[in-house]
Structures are given as C-alpha cells and as structure tokens.
Structure 1
Amino acid sequence: MKKILPILTLLFAFAIFTTSCNKVNIPGVDGYETYTNEKTGLSVEYPSNWYKSTSPIRFVVFNSKDWQSRFARYESEGNPSAKFDITIYQMDSTVNLDTILAKSMKFEKSFYEQSDAKVGNYPAKKLVYTFELETGVFYGETYVVQADETSANVIQIECFDGTDKTYKEAIEKFLASYKPGKFPVTVPDTVNEVVEADPPSTTLVTKSGNGYSIKIPDNFMAEKGPSSGVIESKNYIGQRRADCNIIVDVIDASKNKKLNKIVEENRKNYKNANPSKISLAGKEAYQMNYSFSKNVSSRVIFLINGDKLYRVTMNYFIGEKDSYLPIFEKCISSFKLN
C-alpha cells in the first residue's frame, strides 16, 4: 500500500521557490562485482560502477557518490538516489530480531508493512515502506536475517523517484547473491556510520558561498546541496555520518521580502515548530527546532539580505550530540554576509 508522508512531502515546498525542470541522468549499471568480507563472511554482488563504502560491519553502495546526502533527511526534492545497504548486528539477551527490526524503522510504524520472506536461501523478516514525494515515489525494503545465534544482518534497499523499477535487476541480483555476515567480536559497533572516520574537528576553516561565508570543521567537505529551485545549495558534511551536516540554501527573495510572512507560511514544513527571533550575521533571523526522524535533531534559520533569502539547516545524530552540536553551533555563529 502506498502511503503519503506529509512531513517529507512538504519539506521543501516553499511558495517562493521556482521548481527546476531540468532532467537528471540516472546512473546505469555497468556490470557487477562481488564484495566479500573474509572476517565476517558477508558476500554480495553489487553494481560495479556505483560508489561503495565499507566498514568491518557495514557494506553500502549508492548509485552516485554526490547523491548520498539525500538519505540523511529523505528530502522531498532532490536527485533520484538509490542505496543498497547491509549492516551486521550483534545479538545478546537484550537484542533479538524483533528489537533490531524495530530499530531499523526510520519513520512511524504505520508506514511499514511486515511479512516473512527469504533473502537468497535465508529466512527473513521483511518491511516494505513507500510514499509519495515531490519528485516521485520513494520505495524501501528492509530485511532482517539471523546469521547465527549471536549475529543478525539488516539489509536495506532504498530508492527515490521510482528508481526501484530502474534497478529491478540489480536489486534482484543483490538479494539473490547475499550470504550473511557474522558479527566480529573484536570490532567496535560502528552501526549507522557511512565511513569510519573522526567526529567533527574543533579546528574550523572558512568556506564561501553565494553572498556568504561560514566556518566549518577542517575535516568536512563542501558538496552540492540537495535542494532544487534555488540559486545555490551547499552541503557541508564529514565522512563519519551522513545524517550530521549543515546545508546552506540561497533562494531568490526578490518577489517576497517579508521574512516573518515567509517563516509563518513554512512552519508547516517543519512540523509546525515555533519560530523564535534571533540575530545572525547582523540581521534579523528566525530559528526553528524540529525533528523528522527519531534519531536526528534539526534546526533551520531564515534570514534575508537584499534580494536573497538564506536558509541554514543543521542536522545531527542524537546519539553523538556532544560531538556535533557544540561545533555546529560555532559554525552557524560564524555565518557572515558579504
């Protein structure tokens, strides 16, 4: 059953935006390779031209390296991203298949349909979740497989904008070739990290955008942001987590310069969060705190300079709040207008 996810559908539906009609070329599949982890036994076939990231207990591939950030917040608009992901969990007296299945749910429970299934030759618990977004249908499948008495694998296939149909063969090959991995006892749990890496550095460096500058950790990079229909979108992100980032969007405000009206009109896009007036870069600004995921907290700030609206969005994983929030607040405080 296809469901509508209003908190995501409205995320970037700004009345002042002009939606871009540019077509994006969807990456194809140029053959397959087999990934095998000798220590865990995990093995799977995946598209050879996709971007691959691994850790001792995780394997994930994206159809494009530049598009992986859409999975940080599941934006309503963006590129047609696809992700195949396997994580190995350790089970004990308090962690079983049901608790792991519940932990894998990123959205409200009502969006999931659960059934029994098989991945390759292995019994699995299966979740299907799908909903409409601004740019098309999002489709997700999650499988939980018990590898042995102390290990379970979570397999996730997630596709934006109907790419589950584009990659139907690749998905089938990925699942059919799967061999489970066993949790390595000597390896620390790095679940949910895209790449094992350091937390944000306390050393900040200045990066420039369209009409602004901002300081970010020196182990972060600046990549093209996920927002469409804007003058510029930049995503400042590190390698440790895909759900911890700062996004700065520059939007044409020549036809609407009433900041309080813009904020009020778009409160619904942020779960009707209460805006508070602050000052940023010497300008009047409005800030809202909200959360679209049970594990990620977010903050958005709006301010206008001339004919441009600046939207600064901060996301951080609650489990690593102490590592990210103080640094991110320093970053936002450093925001300056040219």
Structure 2
Amino acid sequence: MDHISFDCHKNIGGNDCAEGQVPAYSYVGCDSHATQVAGVIGANRENNPLGIEGVAPGAQLVSVKVLNYCVVPNETESAKKYKGLAYLSGVVAAINWIAAQVPNNGLDAQFRRRLSAVANMSILWGGGGSPETNSNYISPAAQVALSNAISAAVAKGIFFSFAAGNANVDACGFYPAKIGSQLNGAMAVGALTNSGEPMRFVLGEAGKVAAYGPCVEIWAPGQSVQSTGAFPGISLQNEIFPNTIYPNEKIPAWGPGVPIPPNTSNMPAGLHYYLEGSGSSLASPHVAGAALLLARRRQLMNQPLPSPAEIEPTLMAKIKILPPPKDKYGGWGNPLPITPLPVRILTVDQF
C-alpha cells in the first residue's frame, strides 16, 4: 500500500485487525509480504522504465492487517513467540469488517449480489496435529467460523482468491484453501513456474513446493514473480541497497525512493523496493487482479457487474490446459505435486 508504484489517490484506507501491540508503522510489515501481494494486483508503472505493472494497474487497494508486529533484532526468544502471528479471531474480524464496508451493487438474475469487492488472502492454516505440534493448527470450531465469515462475505458480493500453499501437500488440508472448493465465488490458486509447471524448486528455498489436489482450482504464476516491496531494515539485514539489481544469490531489489508530494509515505527514502518472490501467495493475487479486470471490462461495455459466483466459471473458461508432466519426478528427486492434471492455468492476457 505504501509504495511509489501505487496510486495513493486511489488507495482508500484500511483497517488493523491484528491483536497485540504494534509499533508506530503499524501497516508496514517485517518482510514486505503484503506489499508484494498488493503490487501483483494493482501496481501502476506509468512511464517509468523501471517498475512493476500489476494485473489490474491502478486498482483501488485497501489494506486490512491481521498479523501482529514483527520480530526485531536482538529480541529474546520469549518475546519472539508472540510476534508475527495471525489469530483466527482477528482474521474473522477482518473479513467481517470488509463485508461491512462494501456497497450494494444490486442483484443478478439468480438474486445473487453483484460484485462489490475482490479480497485476496495469501495466508493459511492447517496441516493437522495439535496447537502444541503445529503452529498453523486450526481447530474445527475455527474452521467453521472462518467458513461462515467467508460465505457471508461472498453473499455480500465479495470474490475471494486464496493461496493454496507451498508445502508439497494436499491443499484440502489447509484453510481457507479448502473453502474455495466448497464455495462458488472463492478459489484456491496454485503456484506455477515460468515454464508453466507446478512450482517445485525455489533457489534458496528448497522446501517451497506447490500444494496440490482437487482444492487447487486454478494455477497462476508464482515463482520468481517481480513485485513491489517496502521492507524497513532490508538494507541492514540483507545488505541490499537502493538502485541496485542483484544477481540470483541475493534478493533482486532496487529502490527509487519516496513518492513525490502530494503523495506521502511513512517509509524512509530508498526503502521503496522492487522484490522478487515465490509461492502461492504471489499466485493468488494474479487471480484477484483478473477478477478486477473482468469487472472493469463489464463496466466499459456498459454491462452489469458479475456476481462472485459468476466470476469463478468465467475465469475457468479462460484457462489454458497444459499436458501432464512426462514423469513423476522433476529432476531434483522430489515427486511432482499430485495435482489433478492437466494443469489449468489462468491466462490474464485474454481479458
């Protein structure tokens, strides 16, 4: 949200639904995850030769914070334990807050609310076990609460795009990815490589392998995705400096500085970066951006907005089918994700 590549006049506020104390820059995270996700959706490059163009450039962006503040250098282990967390109660509150803000754009012929907003959720819980053995554990009661909140929001015209996960496991074991397969108007998105295969290797992140299974309804680019970044302290922690494009062994990053007035920023000069990232967290906003493009196209054609339930099959009608991989293994000794093949890829250029 707070980046030179975003049209600050179109960003329309946000809310903080995180629990726990936050520092002065409460909307700025510790690893730039949200800023990267937002850039995939709506970064606007304009005429700058260096920069990022989102799927739906210039889209109105609303930041809703659900993670509490981050670990800082030299903190004790006990202090770290309660930081960088997202409580399900805060996430449900965030979804409810979004649903309370959206306009009523009328009903379609099936008496469903027409699109009022698009929500991206690049966050997940699940994997079984217990709270003691799994930090991403989600209880049955929390599963129901999250499902109910998302269902109610879809009923108010909000389309959801979910990250499917990166752990080389069945996405149906994780929330909200599982909800996407159960609800028209919400989709879980898997991460693809640049060659169109399910993500299975990321330099420096050997464990980052795409989730699979029937709950992954659609796939989009998710490996080595160039996007925006706003990471306080990145220069100190990773020896990354502004206006420099780094080789593969470091995070590619360069920074043009703060926006020119009247735009404002709470980030120091030089910390507006462009970062490369990988994972379904960056695949999911591609689908969110495509949903916005679909809605915009309807508006330009003077047609009524679609409902979230209509957006899902419309996106699925624009997929490109890829053949299954030739063998079970991808050359690194790791099994390919056991996804229902052929892989269904969203091709945004069709809009």
Q: TM-score, normalised by structure 1?
A: 0.26
Q: TM-score, normalised by structure 2?
A: 0.25
| Greater relative contact order structure (CA < 8 Å, 6+ sep) | 2
> Where is the helix percentage greater, Structure 1 or Structure 2?
2
> Where is the strand percentage greater, Structure 1 or Structure 2?
1
Q: Highest CA radius of gyration, 1 or 2?
A: 1
